[in-house]
């Protein structure tokens, strides 16, 4: 037998807590990422620290949390009870150590397994914890989970509470950058779910008076409301509901014990079912479920005793019961009973809203019947095209497999042209990266009905590849990346694709799934070193660094970048620009301005802005 096939005592290793976290970070925080996606690891680190502060607030200790991010240093300060001084080091460095195992103290806590802050500690280059209780302070510092400084207990006049500072380890989170838009969204969610809580982020104060109603007002523009937001609250449950005038698919925001369960779970499934059942009974009509839920924009929050999630990052609830105590109802029964009682009462008391809701459902019913024939033909056509035309080069990992951390890294690159798609296909990671090849420029879909999605081959195949025909529940890729040339034609294709998603699937953008791939404009090299540059400024810096006269190549299109080189741009060092929406912007107004008929205002905008961009591109060439 060869040495490599031997299995002896020497093959067995025992890792301590920090070594295991650093070797297998995905088990603890999901994917790593660089901060371009809202579920990247650096935001999970922040969330783990914040969850402890929220639990203190829930217990009635401390109404304010202060968060600062400066450069790459994160600091979180609460005014809760403070960690018991004799356990400060243990709480952040010993697995299965914490105060949440006592369910009487933390009945409906987010984190129950004593892992959170340990993971932050182990995955940080610098980690400092300070606790103040009874006019005394204890502090300690770590690096990579190793204790490097333990301070004595000292007298202090500081207010009680806990302060944690950390710098994520750049050897693990490569080229990371905190995007404040994602941080602010996370902090606002905490405020929506905790009435009376104030969070101060870099000096800006966030507070919510109306909970999930405020969340929906932040999500959907006032001009797009089919009827006023329905906001209902009960013991351990809250919901907000409306329908969009323009959005086609469903959009839900779901929470358990203050945790944003982005992938839903048992509570969201029960909620969607309860909405349909209640509305059918109220109108005494057997509506199709899809007609009732079409264009729904809603939020649901429940509190569960000792919740069970399907992953360490707590993005999907697995609990079937509200708690383990005798007599506790199932999640399904609890949610259904609340919605049936409260929503039915609301509709009886608000006939104007009830009439508007009925009109919306009947409109959806008519549109579904009009599309039924073409939808079936389009589905059959998409299946044949995927099999024979091979527009989609698929990958092995898909998002619905929530128990596999790799599913969170699944990416679909949308490319234009055979050469570009060929280069990416040859250089991609077949486990997590798929490629969809467009043929020419997409249609401008602004102002068109959903019918065009089925009639247009490119749109129909793209919808089928993503599996989003009936909403995001079956979305096959966590990241959808538009990969086009960095020239005027490439920018036009980007705009047309973004228009398509905004028109028919805006929740893809709202939930942070859509990106633009940054690819280098230049390659600057000498015999010893090669530098890829993404801007004119980077090119000048590279020339300065590689004196005297380096070779300079201008990439005119993605097809000019070899597969070997492409590995540098879609691997660990990938650069992605997320597509984000301004909360104050109406989708209809946005699309009308940029993609509607020419107007003097838009002509002025083009003259003032796009001409500058074209001049820059020409100069770069």
Among the residue ranges 101-110, 283-292, 297-306, 480-489, the one predicted with the least confidence is 101-110
Question: Is 53 a residue whose pLDDT tops 50?
Answer: yes
The residues that bridge with 161 in the sheet, in sequence order, are 132
Question: Is 386 a residue whose pLDDT tops 70?
Answer: no
Among the residue ranges 414-423, 433-442, 578-587, the one predicted with the least confidence is 578-587
* Alpha-carbon span 599 to 296, nearest angstrom: 33
Residue 336 · residue 330 · CB < 8 Å: no
Helix extents (H) in 317-350: 331-349
Instruction: State pLDDT tens for residues 184-196.
Output: 999 999 999 998 9
Q: Which residues contact 338 (CB under 8 A, 6 or more apart)?
A: 232, 234, 237, 239, 274
Question: Is 102 a residue whose pLDDT tops 60?
Answer: no
* Alpha-carbon span 445 to 443, nearest angstrom: 6
Q: Which residue has the higher pLDDT, 472 or 69?
A: 69
Residue 213 · residue 261 · CB < 8 Å: no
Question: Is 96 a residue whose pLDDT tops 60?
Answer: no
Question: What pLDDT is attached to residue 80?
Answer: 94
Section 427-443 average pLDDT: 90
Q: If we measure between CA atoms, which residue out of 408, 561, 537 comes closest to residue 478?
A: 408
Question: What pLDDT is attached to residue 10?
Answer: 62
Q: Which residues contact 93 (CB under 8 A, 6 or more apart)?
A: 17, 18, 118, 121, 142, 145, 147
Q: Containing H/E element for 130?
A: strand 124-133
Residue 146 · residue 162 · CB < 8 Å: no
Section 463-488 average pLDDT: 87
Sign (positive or negative) of CA dihedral 153, 154, 160, 165: negative
Among the residue ranges 203-212, 276-285, 466-475, the one predicted with the least confidence is 466-475
Among the residue ranges 84-88, 149-153, 306-310, 525-529, the one predicted with the least confidence is 306-310
Give the CB-side neighbour count of residue 476, counting CA atoms within 13 A: 21
Pick the CATH number of 212-366 from 3.30.230.10, 3.40.1010.10, 3.40.50.720, 3.10.20.10: 3.30.230.10
Q: Residue for token digits 């935001």? A: 43
Count Cβ atoms below 10 Å from residue 587 Cβ, excluding itself. 20
Helix extents (H) in 115-211: 116-122, 180-193
**CA-to-CA dists, residue 63 to 66, 137, 161, 238, angstroms:** 10, 20, 11, 21
Tokens, residue 293: 């839920």
Q: Which residues contact 463 (CB under 8 A, 6 or more apart)?
A: 382, 453, 469
Question: What pLDDT is attached to residue 344?
Answer: 97
Q: If we measure between CA atoms, which residue out of 131, 140, 158, 6 comes closest to residue 56?
A: 131
Question: Is 162 a residue whose pLDDT tops 70?
Answer: yes
Under CATH, what is the fold of the domain 389-519+557-620?
A: Rossmann fold (3.40.50)
Question: What pLDDT is attached to residue 112?
Answer: 44
Reported confidence tier of residue 246, pLDDT bands at 50, 70, 90: confident
Question: What pLDDT is attached to residue 614?
Answer: 47
Question: What pLDDT is attached to residue 419?
Answer: 77
Residue 189's SS3 state is helix
Residue 440 · residue 417 · CB < 8 Å: no
Domain boundary assignment for the chain: 17-206, 212-366, 389-519+557-620, 522-554
Q: Give the chain's mean pLDDT.
A: 86
Section 34-53 average pLDDT: 91
Reported confidence tier of residue 556, pLDDT bands at 50, 70, 90: confident
The greatest distance separating any two alpha carbons of the chain, rounded to the nearest whole angstrom, comes to 81
Question: What pLDDT is attached to residue 157?
Answer: 94
Q: Which residues contact 430 (CB under 8 A, 6 or more apart)?
A: 395, 396
DSSP state of 577: E
**CA-to-CA dists, residue 94 to 43, 64, 91, 146, 474, angstroms:** 22, 28, 6, 11, 38
Q: Which residue has the higher pLDDT, 216 or 448?
A: 216
Question: What pLDDT is attached to residue 107?
Answer: 59
Phi and psi at 219, nearest 5°, equal -85, -40
* Alpha-carbon span 69 to 554, nearest angstrom: 37
Spatial strand order in the sheet of 237-243: 230-234, 237-243, 296-302, 251-256, 259-260
**CA-to-CA dists, residue 224 to 31, 80, 217, 249, 602, angstroms:** 35, 41, 10, 14, 23
Instruction: State pLDDT tens for residues 134-160.
Output: 999 999 999 999 999 999 999 999 999
Residue 228 · residue 353 · CB < 8 Å: yes
Question: What pLDDT is attached to residue 621?
Answer: 46
Question: What pLDDT is attached to residue 619?
Answer: 46
* Alpha-carbon span 269 to 462, nearest angstrom: 26
Question: What pLDDT is attached to residue 403?
Answer: 57
Percent of the chain with pLDDT over 90: 48
SS3 letters for 283-338? HCCCCCHHHHHCCEEEEEEECCCCCCECCCCCCCECCCECCCCCCCCEHHHHHHHH
Question: What pLDDT is attached to residue 113?
Answer: 44
Percent of the chain with pLDDT over 70: 86
Reported confidence tier of residue 617, pLDDT bands at 50, 70, 90: very low
* Alpha-carbon span 345 to 293, nearest angstrom: 19
Phi and psi at 140, nearest 5°, equal -150, 150
Question: Is 388 a residue whose pLDDT tops 60?
Answer: no
Question: What pLDDT is attached to residue 23?
Answer: 87
* Alpha-carbon span 44 to 31, nearest angstrom: 9
Reported confidence tier of residue 616, pLDDT bands at 50, 70, 90: very low
Residue 358's SS3 state is helix
Residue 314 · residue 251 · CB < 8 Å: no
Q: Which residue has the higher pLDDT, 190 or 15?
A: 190
Q: Quickly list DSSP for 488-514.
A: HHHHHHHHHHHHHHHHH-HHHHHTT-E
Tokens, residue 381: 């056509």
Top-ranked range on mean pLDDT: pick from 77-86, 251-260, 552-561: 77-86
CATH code of the domain occupying 17-206: 3.30.565.10
Question: What pLDDT is attached to residue 161?
Answer: 96
Question: What pLDDT is attached to residue 105?
Answer: 47
Section 408-431 average pLDDT: 87
To 5 degrees, how large is the angle CA 409–CA 415–CA 418?
Answer: 125
Sign (positive or negative) of CA dihedral 15, 19, 23, 25: positive
* Alpha-carbon span 76 to 168, nearest angstrom: 14
Omega of the bond leading into 561 within 30 degrees of 0 (cis): no
Instruction: State pLDDT tens for residues 200-244.
Output: 999 999 999 999 999 999 988 888 899 999 999 999 999 999 999
Q: Containing H/E element for 251?
A: strand 251-256
Top-ranked range on mean pLDDT: pick from 119-133, 378-392, 520-534, 565-579: 119-133
State in Å, rounded, how far the first CA of the chain is from the last one: 60
């Amino acid at each position: 037998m060869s040495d490599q096939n031997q299995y002896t005592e020497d093959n067995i290793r025992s890792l301590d807590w920090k070594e295991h976290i650093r070797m297998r970070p995905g088990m603890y925080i999901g994917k790593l990422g660089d901060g371009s996606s809202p579920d990247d690891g650096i935001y999970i680190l922040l969330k783990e620290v914040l969850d402890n502060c929220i639990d203190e607030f829930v217990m009635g200790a401390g109404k304010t949390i202060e968060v600062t991010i400066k450069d790459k240093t994160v600091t979180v300060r609460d005014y809760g009870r403070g960690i018991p001084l004799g356990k400060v080091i243990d709480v952040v460095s010993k697995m299965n150590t914490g105060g949440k195992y006592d369910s009487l103290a933390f009945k409906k806590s987010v984190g129950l397994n004593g892992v959170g802050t340990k993971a932050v500690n182990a995955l940080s280059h610098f980690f400092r914890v300070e606790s103040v209780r009874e006019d005394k302070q204890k502090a300690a510092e770590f690096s990579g989970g190793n204790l490097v400084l333990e301070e004595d207990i000292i007298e202090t006049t500081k207010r009680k509470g806990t302060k944690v500072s950390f710098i994520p380890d750049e050897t693990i989170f490569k080229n990371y950058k905190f995007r404040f838009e994602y941080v602010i969204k996370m902090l606002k969610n905490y405020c929506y779910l905790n009435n009376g809580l104030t969070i101060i982020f870099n000096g800006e104060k966030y507070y919510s008076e109306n909970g999930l109603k405020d969340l929906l007002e932040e999500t959907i523009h006032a001009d797009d409301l089919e009827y006023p937001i329905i906001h209902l609250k009960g013991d351990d449950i809250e919901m907000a509901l409306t329908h969009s005038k323009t959005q086609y698919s469903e959009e839900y925001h779901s929470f358990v014990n203050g945790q944003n369960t982005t992938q839903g779970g048992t509570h969201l499934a029960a909620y969607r079912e309860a909405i349909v059942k209640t509305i059918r009974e109220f109108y005494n009509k057997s509506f199709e479920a899809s007609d009732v839920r079409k264009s729904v924009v809603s939020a649901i929050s429940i509190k569960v005793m000792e919740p069970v999630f399907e992953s360490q990052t707590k993005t999907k609830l697995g609990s079937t019961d509200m708690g383990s105590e005798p007599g506790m109802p199932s999640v399904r029964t609890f949610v259904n009973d609340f919605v049936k009682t409260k929503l039915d009462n609301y509709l009886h008391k608000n006939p104007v809203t009830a009439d508007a809701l009925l009109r919306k459902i009947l409109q959806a019913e008519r549109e579904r019947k009009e599309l039924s024939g073409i939808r079936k033909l389009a589905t059959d056509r998409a299946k044949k095209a995927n099999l024979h035309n091979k527009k989609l080069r698929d990958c092995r990992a898909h998002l619905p497999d929530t128990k596999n951390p790799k599913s969170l890294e699944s990416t679909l690159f949308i490319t234009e042209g055979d050469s570009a798609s060929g280069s990416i296909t040859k250089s991609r990671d077949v486990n997590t990266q798929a490629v969809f090849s467009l043929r020419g420029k997409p249609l401008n879909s602004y102002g068109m009905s959903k019918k065009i999605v089925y009639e247009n081959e490119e749109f129909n195949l793209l919808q089928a590849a993503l599996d989003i025909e009936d909403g995001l529940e079956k979305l096959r890729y966590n990241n959808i990346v538009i990969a086009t040339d960095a020239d005027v034609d490439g920018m036009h294709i980007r705009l047309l694709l973004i228009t398509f998603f905004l028109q028919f699937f805006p929740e893809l953008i709202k939930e942070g799934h859509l990106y633009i791939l940054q690819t280098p404009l230049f390659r600057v090299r000498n015999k010893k070193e090669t530098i890829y540059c993404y801007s004119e400024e980077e090119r000048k810096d590279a020339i300065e660094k590689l004196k005297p006269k380096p070779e300079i190549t201008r990439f005119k299109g993605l097809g000019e970048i070899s597969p070997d080189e492409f590995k540098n741009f879609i691997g660990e060092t990938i650069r992605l620009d997320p597509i984000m929406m301004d909360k104050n912007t109406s989708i209809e107004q946005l699309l009308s301005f940029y993609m509607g008929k020419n107007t003097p205002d838009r002509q002025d905008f083009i003259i003032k802005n796009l001409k500058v961009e074209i001049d820059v591109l020409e100069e770069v060439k």
